[in-house]
Amino acid sequence: MTMETLPKVPEVDEKSPEAKDLLPSQTASSLCISSRSESVWTTTPRSNWEIYRKPIVTMSVGGAILLFGVVITCLAYTLELSGKSLSILKMVGPGFLSLGLMMLVCGLVWVPIIKKKQKHRQKSNFLRSLKSFFLTR
């Protein structure tokens, strides 16, 4: 049995030319700009609608799809239809039921996650302001 050798860590002189061109400040600013999540350094307050818009839309769409699935499923079992359309309704109805329920539950779970994240962010901002207050004196 032979053991594989680990690749050698490149020295400072051996790094790629792209790595030499990037300065730490440029890298940090480009990462913050390109990230999809909200930056830690932004101080602009967001309204509740901006914060909870996506979960509310997800719950609304999920509830509408769930209701549509209930209606289709009820129609499939109450109407006297021919064989092919009845089998299609019996397949599509539960599909819409499950999709709507899944979206509704995802939206309902998303709200407490956002609340916890907001509380953590407020605590982090408070601790950061305390730290800067004591370090500047």
Q: What pLDDT digit, counting tens, does each position of 2-37 carry? A: 555 655 555 555 555 555 555 555 454 444 454 455
Q: How many distinct structural domains can be found in the chain?
A: 1
Is there a domain that residue 89 lies in? Answer: yes
Across the range 48-58, mean pLDDT stands at: 91
64-82 pLDDT, tens per residue? 999 999 999 999 889 888 8
Predicted pLDDT at 131: 77
71 lies in which domain range? 52-137
Across the range 42-47, mean pLDDT stands at: 72
Check: CB of residue 65 under 8 Å from CB of residue 103.
Answer: yes
Is there a domain that residue 20 lies in? Answer: no
Q: Give the angle subtended at the CA of 22 by the CAs of 14 and 33, to the nearest 5°.
A: 140
pTM of the model: 0.60
Is there a domain that residue 93 lies in? Answer: yes
Is there a domain that residue 120 lies in? Answer: yes
Is there a domain that residue 71 lies in? Answer: yes
85-127 pLDDT, tens per residue? 888 888 999 999 999 999 999 999 999 999 999 888 888 877 8
Is there a domain that residue 129 lies in? Answer: yes
CA distance 126 to 123: 5
Is there a domain that residue 43 lies in? Answer: no
Check: CB of residue 59 under 8 Å from CB of residue 103.
Answer: yes
Predicted pLDDT at 65: 97
Is there a domain that residue 37 lies in? Answer: no
